[in-house]
């Protein structure tokens, strides 16, 4: 059962926030990646790079606990994430799907996410929409929004509550240049505040505001079959 007290632990100077060691994942009989190791610390943006089908999304889902791994381990402050309640309290995942209910309005969707964190702050809801420049969509049902607006709304959830780890799967897909800049700035703010980001993106981050914070982790295509 969740234990709110476990949130209070903070990283020591030597301990990595997240460490992935010799991780191996497969889909069916195909090995996606093998012996993958990297660490992520506060203020770092880990950019997972690799061709299509090499398991970037699977890696993020494994980090979140949605998928299992064949071997290796993932640790949060030295503790396996499967045993760490603190990790589920501190991490937020935005995948390919926006996790929004079409029938509800933008505000209602955000309000539910806020309530899940036991927060009730109407001003914060409107402020998050304002920061993503979709305040005009506040009372529209999500099914009436464009793909880009839905993506912005998905990212507005990140502003509702402070989470130290953002796990983002292709965060800039379907978003125009202005929206991309907004999201980059959100990410930079998160990193400056001591947060951590692990993301996949098919293009380099060197031309973005994230370049000074990012470190790349390459996933090599595997030939082997289990």
* 99 near other proteins (CB under 8 A): yes
Applying CB under 8 A, does 1 fall inside the site for other proteins? yes
Phi/psi zone of residue 77: left (φ > 0), alpha (ψ -120 to 50 degrees), beta? Answer: left
Does residue number 85 form part of the binding site for other proteins (CB under 8 A)? Answer: yes
How many residues of this chain bind other proteins (CB under 8 A)? 28
Residues 6+ apart with CB under 8 A from 213: 43, 44, 45, 188, 191, 197
Query: Taking phi first (over 0 means left), then psi (-120 to 50 degrees means alpha), and beta for anything else, what does residue 161 get?
Result: beta
Is there a contact between 55 and 219 (Cβ–Cβ < 8 Å)? Answer: yes
Q: Which stretch binds other proteins (CB under 8 A): 99-107, 199-207, 208-216, 217-225?
A: 99-107
Residue placing its CB nearer to other proteins in the complex, 104 or 124? 104
Task: Residue count of the chain, please give it.
Answer: 226
Q: Which of 5, 13, 28, 97 binds other proteins (CB under 8 A)?
A: 97
State the Cα torsion 123-126-128-134 to the nearest 10°.
Answer: -170
- Least separation in angstroms between residue 212's CB and other proteins is 30
* Stretch near other proteins under the rule CB under 8 A, chosen from 18-26, 28-36, 46-54, 92-100: 92-100
Cα separation of 123 and 23, whole Å? 42
118 near other proteins, judged by CB under 8 A: yes
- Residue 224 C-beta: closest distance to other proteins, Å: 22
- Is residue 64 a contact point for other proteins (CB under 8 A)? yes
- Given the complex with other proteins, which of 195 and 208 has the nearer CB atom? 195
Q: Which helix H or strand E contains 180, and what residues bound it?
A: helix 177-192
């Amino acid at each position: 059962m969740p234990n709110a007290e476990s949130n209070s632990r903070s990283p020591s100077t030597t301990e990595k926030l997240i460490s992935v060691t010799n991780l191996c994942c497969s889909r069916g009989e195909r090995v996606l990646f093998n012996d993958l190791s990297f660490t992520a610390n506060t203020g770092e943006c880990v950019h997972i790079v690799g061709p299509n089908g090499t398991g970037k999304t699977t890696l993020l889902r494994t980090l979140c606990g949605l998928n299992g791994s064949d071997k290796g381990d993932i640790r949060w402050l030295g503790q396996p994430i499967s045993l760490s309640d603190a990790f589920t309290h501190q991490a937020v995942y935005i995948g390919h799907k926006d996790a929004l209910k079409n029938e509800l309005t933008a505000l209602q969707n955000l309000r539910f996410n806020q309530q899940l964190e036991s927060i009730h702050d109407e001003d914060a809801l409107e402020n998050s929409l304002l920061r993503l420049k979709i305040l005009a969509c506040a009372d529209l049902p999500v099914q009436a929004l464009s793909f880009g607006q839905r993506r912005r709304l998905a990212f507005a959830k990140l502003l509702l509550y402070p989470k130290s780890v953002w796990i983002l799967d292709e965060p800039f897909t379907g978003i125009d240049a202005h929206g991309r800049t907004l999201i980059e700035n959100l990410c930079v703010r998160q990193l400056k505040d001591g947060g951590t980001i692990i993301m996949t993106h098919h293009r380099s981050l060197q031309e973005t505001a994230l370049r000074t914070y990012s470190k790349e982790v390459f996933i090599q295509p595997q030939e082997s079959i289990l």
